[in-house]
Chain A
Amino acid sequence: MTAPAGVAFDADLPWRRAGSVALRPEPFGALVYHFGNRKLSFLKSKTLVAVVEALAEHPSAAATLTACGVPDAQRGAYVKALADLARSQMIERRETP
């Protein structure tokens, strides 16, 4: 069963957590659930949880990473994690910055 592909991820664009997605805090981070496509995913660090929650408040995903204090050395891993979340429609593009 292939789900419709999510949007390709561009860290310079504005993003937000998708409306039908819930985050459940867990000791290691959070469990992410999409009520629409019933996909389950995991955020493997508390910083990543903070990033996903803060996406909507910043002009771009890249700016969110900076605001949340993601170290330069880990930016690549965070961008990849966000790209995975975009692919599974857990986060979505925001129209306005």
Chain B
Amino acid sequence: MTALLPPRPPAPERPVGGRLIDQFEYGLDAPICLTWELTYACNLACAHCLSSSGRRDPRELSTAEAEAVIDELQRMQVFYVNVGGGEPTVRPDFWHLLDYAIGHDVGVKFSTNGIKLDKARAAQLARTDYVDVQISLDGATAEVNDRVRGTGSYATAIRALENLAEAGMKDFKVSVVVTRENAGQLDEFKALTDSFGAQLRITRLRPSGRGADVWDQLHPTMAQQKDLYSWLLANGEKVLTGDSFFHLSAFGEALPGLNLCGAGRVVCLIDPVGDVYACPFAIHENFLAGNVRDEGGFQRVWQSSELFADLRNPQTGGACTKCAHFDACRGGCMAAKFFTGLPLDGPDPECVQGYGETALAARDLELVAPRSSVDHSHTGPVRGQPTLLGMPALPPAKICDESPLAGLDLR
């Protein structure tokens, strides 16, 4: 493991008593919850996909291996997992693994684009206790959503929401990544969600995976961040955020939830091939702690990896610790800093006090921000491909598709 974080003094002893947030900085014996991406396969090709998903990886965990992970989570008393992908429901054993997890006291919240949620599946889910469904939607209108997620994806999501509501499913979620293009639609998202009897969940866009390619274009402006903060203060109790907007707490009042980077401390990611990363937004070798297939399994990775031990030291140095707002935002999101090429002990690129913009502007011109080598993006065109980055340029199949005279020697 390469040195990841700036050198720190030896870890002080965990304090006894005091605030929970200070305890969490030292890590827990097992994650509070973790994200588990079951497959890199996806029918969509969202422009901002955090895991650069598209094609299945042949090394993905088998059904038996996935069951073994669930057994281990049960032993460690991890009470629920956030399942995602890729599109988890395209795994043929998805429904089996869902039942298996629930039968082993591991509750499942899964995120889906809705492709497989027909009336029959919606009814099945409505009958199942201890499962939560999140339908991803990144625009309150088809126009805004489909530009990022692809043509037809809005209609697919709405159909899934209709099916869930009709089946009498309770407490399902609409999950929105806040972007520059949809930040003005928060009230519309709330109204749309309410109309299905669902709950709204909004999370932060990170420059992870393909998100790095569109982050400059899509991350909310400072004015939008301020509006979002006010909106969260007004609606926070009714809206879920995965505690992902804690960097906004530096505007003043703390937002509800855990205002701390939980990477490797209280959360982590298991990717489809069993690799364990510090957080779902940090699929990069620098944040790779081990693999569930290694001896000792997930528990050993969680409890003994050097990387996680390193992350469980409270930050004591760096520019941010001198800032008056450090206790509010704790320096923001590690992945957002890393993938924009900023130092991990400095400000978040979206620091609401403006230090992020300064830090971005001060980056070395030669600097190439780190990129993940893990990329399962579709290699060919995808039906309904997002238009955010412009229409894909397809080479003409035959020369005469371009011009009936092309290639002819007319001399």
Which residues from chain A sit less than 8 Å from chain B, CB to CB? 1, 22, 24-28, 31, 33, 35, 38, 40, 42, 44-45
**B7 interface residue, CB < 8 Å from A?**
no
Question: Are A1 and B171 in contact (CB-based, < 8 A)?
Answer: yes
CB-CB nearest in chain B for A24:
B77
Residues in B with CB closer than 8 Å to A45 are: 17
**Known interface pairs A1-B171, A24-B79, A44-B23; 17 further A-B residue pairs with C-beta atoms within 8 A, sorted by A's residue number:** A22-B77, A22-B79, A22-B105, A24-B29, A26-B23, A26-B29, A27-B29, A28-B16, A28-B20, A31-B28, A31-B32, A35-B79, A35-B107, A38-B107, A38-B130, A40-B79, A45-B17
Question: Are A42 and B29 in contact (CB-based, < 8 A)?
Answer: no
A22, A28, A35, A45: residue with the most chain B Cβ atoms closer than 10 Å: A28
- Decide: A1 near B199, CB < 8 A? Known: A28-B23, A38-B80: yes
For the complex, give the distance between the alpha carbons of A27 and B105 in Å: 22
- Decide: A26 near B28, CB < 8 A? Known: A35-B105, A44-B20: yes
Residues in B with CB closer than 8 Å to A33 are: 77, 79
3 A-B pairs with least C-beta separation: A24-B77, A33-B79, A28-B23
Residues in B with CB closer than 8 Å to A1 are: 171, 199, 238
CB-CB nearest in chain B for A38:
B107
The B1-40 residues at the A interface (CB cut-off 8 A) are: 14, 16-17, 20, 23, 26, 28-30, 32
CB-CB nearest in chain B for A25:
B29
For the complex, give the distance between the alpha carbons of A44 and B30 in Å: 16
Residues in A with CB closer than 8 Å to B105 are: 22, 35
- Decide: A27 near B26, CB < 8 A? Known: A40-B32, A44-B20: yes
For the complex, give the distance between the alpha carbons of A29 and B77 in Å: 15
| Chain A nearest Cβ from B310, distance in angstroms | 18
Q: How many residues of B contact A (CB 8 A)?
A: 19
Residues in A with CB closer than 8 Å to B17 are: 28, 44-45
For the complex, give the distance between the alpha carbons of A70 and B367 in Å: 58
Residues in B with CB closer than 8 Å to A24 are: 29-30, 77, 79
Residue in B28, B30, B130 whose beta carbon sits within 8 Å of that of A35 in the complex = B130
Interface string of B324-356 (1 = CB under 8 A from A): 000000000000000000000000000000000
For the complex, give the distance between the alpha carbons of A24 and B75 in Å: 10
B14, B28, B105, B238: residue with the most chain A Cβ atoms closer than 10 Å: B28
The B101-123 residues at the A interface (CB cut-off 8 A) are: 105, 107
CB-CB nearest in chain B for A45:
B17
| Chain A nearest Cβ from B388, distance in angstroms | 33
For the complex, give the distance between the alpha carbons of A82 and B238 in Å: 25
Question: Are B20 and A42 in contact (CB-based, < 8 A)?
Answer: yes
Interface string of B264-278 (1 = CB under 8 A from A): 000000000000000
| Chain B nearest Cβ from A27, distance in angstroms | 6
| Chain B nearest Cβ from A6, distance in angstroms | 18
List 7 A–B pairs whose Cβ atoms lie within 8 Å, in order of A's numbering.
A1-B199, A24-B77, A24-B79, A26-B29, A27-B14, A31-B77, A33-B79
Question: Are A28 and B32 in contact (CB-based, < 8 A)?
Answer: no
Residues in B with CB closer than 8 Å to A35 are: 79, 105, 107, 130
For the complex, give the distance between the alpha carbons of A24 and B77 in Å: 7
| Chain A nearest Cβ from B343, distance in angstroms | 30
CB-CB nearest in chain A for B266:
A31
Interface string of B23-64 (1 = CB under 8 A from A): 100101110100000000000000000000000000000000
Question: Are A28 and B79 in contact (CB-based, < 8 A)?
Answer: no
A22, A25, A35: residue with the most chain B Cβ atoms closer than 10 Å: A35
Residues in B with CB closer than 8 Å to A28 are: 14, 16-17, 20, 23
Residues in A with CB closer than 8 Å to B29 are: 24-27
| Chain B nearest Cβ from A16, distance in angstroms | 20
Residues in B with CB closer than 8 Å to A31 are: 28, 32, 77
Residues in A with CB closer than 8 Å to B130 are: 35, 38
| Chain A nearest Cβ from B29, distance in angstroms | 6
CB-CB nearest in chain A for B22:
A28
| Chain B nearest Cβ from A47, distance in angstroms | 10
| Chain B nearest Cβ from A42, distance in angstroms | 6
For the complex, give the distance between the alpha carbons of A42 and B79 in Å: 14
For the complex, give the distance between the alpha carbons of A33 and B30 in Å: 13
Interface string of B352-373 (1 = CB under 8 A from A): 0000000000000000000000
For the complex, give the distance between the alpha carbons of A38 and B132 in Å: 11
